Structure formats: C-alpha cells, structure tokens
Amino acid sequence: MKGYKVQPLSYQELDGLSRPRNTEQPEGLPWVLYDTATFVSGTTTRLEFFTTLQTNKSLGNMDLAGSLTRGEYFMIYTIGLDILVPPLLSATGTPEIGALSDIQELLFGDAAGLGGDSGRFSFNMLSKSIGPFPISFLHASGGPTGFGWAGDTATGQEAASYANNGIFDGGFPFGQLVIAPNTQFSVVLEWGGTVTLVADRALRVWMSGVKYRPIR
C-alpha cells in the first residue's frame, strides 16, 4: 500500500480545494473503470470489454457503452485482469483440475499444446491499437493466490485449491494514455483457439488512473 504525504494547508487552501469555483477547470479524481464478460468453455476465442452498458454495477461501472460522457477524460496509468474463479473442493485422487488449472488454460492455452492458443490482449481507441500483448502481463487486483491442500474429513480425504493470476502489483503500466469524451474504446482479449475449462468463468478487466470531469 502506498503512503500518502501529509501536507499542512491553510484553511483558505482547504476551502478552495473542497469548494472549487472555477467551472472552466475540471476536477481530477482517482478512478477505476471495469467491465466483466463471460468466457464460455470450449467456445470463446474473443472477448471485448467496455462496449456494453452493465445494469449490474458489480459487473461494470461505465456510464455509456464504449465511451466517456461529455466533458469527461480518463488518463490510464495501469490495466489489469481479474479471473473470477471460485475455490474447488474435490475428492483426493481425481484429476487436479479447478482454479489453478483454469487460470493456466486462460493465460497460456491448452496445457497439452505448445502455446498456439495462449491468450493476448490489446487496447483499441478509434483506429489505434496498442498490442497485442500476452494476457499473462495482466495481473489481478487482489485476492487469494495459489493454494492447495488435502486432508481427512468426515467423508474421507478431500482436496481444495484456489488461485488468481498473480499478486497485485498495480497493473500493467500504460503511461498516461488519455481517453477523450465521446471516443470509442475497448479492451480485447483473444485466444488462438478454443480453450476447455472446468466451467465457464467471469473475467473482469480494469483500468486505474485519473478521471477528469466537470466540477459538480
């Protein structure tokens, strides 16, 4: 967690910061834009994010589909990916599939292959594309990392595992790329072939940075 500088300010300076009076100058706020899509096992080879308006704000927080509203700008600093895989509990002796194996498949493709179906991502805005880059560069925003155990329970030996795609490190650096209002943009994940998972999985792409918007 980053530290925050404690800077002494006068009451006049605090009043000016909390009650801006210049309507021609936007306010800048730390912000995260995120969107969620479903990877269908054995079928999905391409997912596009931020192009659909989510009514459930747990899935996405865009105000418009595919663009920012009038007067808003978003300066992207980092981008990341959360693979929302629940823990798996299974009987010992069954194949070791579940959270860890699904993330492996999503990042690098079919474990039996040679990487030809591994995942990649790109950022698209108007006619400009940044990427593609390997999806493995996109790390999670937080949560449990890989873990597994086996032990005796009342019903016999069982095994459990959970995982995410990396420890949170702030995200893949994007410098200070600025999205202007009413400008179409998206993030695309692609695979070179179909990937089979234990089950369909929700994938959430997020971008952290600064939102500039009219003073409200």
Place of tokens 């995942």: 119
Residue type, 133: F
Find how far residue 17's CA is from the centre of its chain: 31
Asked whether 76 and 183 are in contact (CB, 8 A), the reply is no
23-43, pLDDT tens digit by residue? 677 878 888 888 989 999 999
* Cis bond before residue 181 (omega within 30° of 0): no
The arrangement of strands across the sheet holding 201-213 comes to 27-39, 201-213, 73-84, 172-179
**Rounded distance, CA 111 to CA 104, Å?**
8
Res 150: pLDDT: 58
Measured at the CA of 21, the angle between CA 19 and CA 23, to 5 degrees, comes to 125
Res 186: pLDDT: 95
**Rounded distance, CA 162 to CA 101, Å?**
10
Q: Which has more confidence, 104 or 55?
A: 55
Highest mean pLDDT among 54-58, 74-78, 194-198: 74-78
Least-confidence region, from 26-35, 89-98, 101-110, 117-126: 89-98
Q: How many CB atoms lie within 10 A of CB 9?
A: 10
Find how far residue 108's CA is from the centre of its chain: 17
> Which pTM value belongs to this model?
0.71
Across the range 62-79, mean pLDDT stands at: 92
Report CA torsion sign: 167, 210, 48, 134: negative
**Rounded distance, CA 16 to CA 209, Å?**
24
- Please tell me what DSSP assigns to residue 118: -
Whether pLDDT at 180 is above 60: yes
DSSP code string of 85-112: ---EEEETTS---SHHHHHHHHHH--TT
Q: How many CB atoms lie within 10 A of CB 165?
A: 22
Among 201, 211, 169, residue whose Cα is nearest residue 97: 201
Across the range 201-206, mean pLDDT stands at: 87
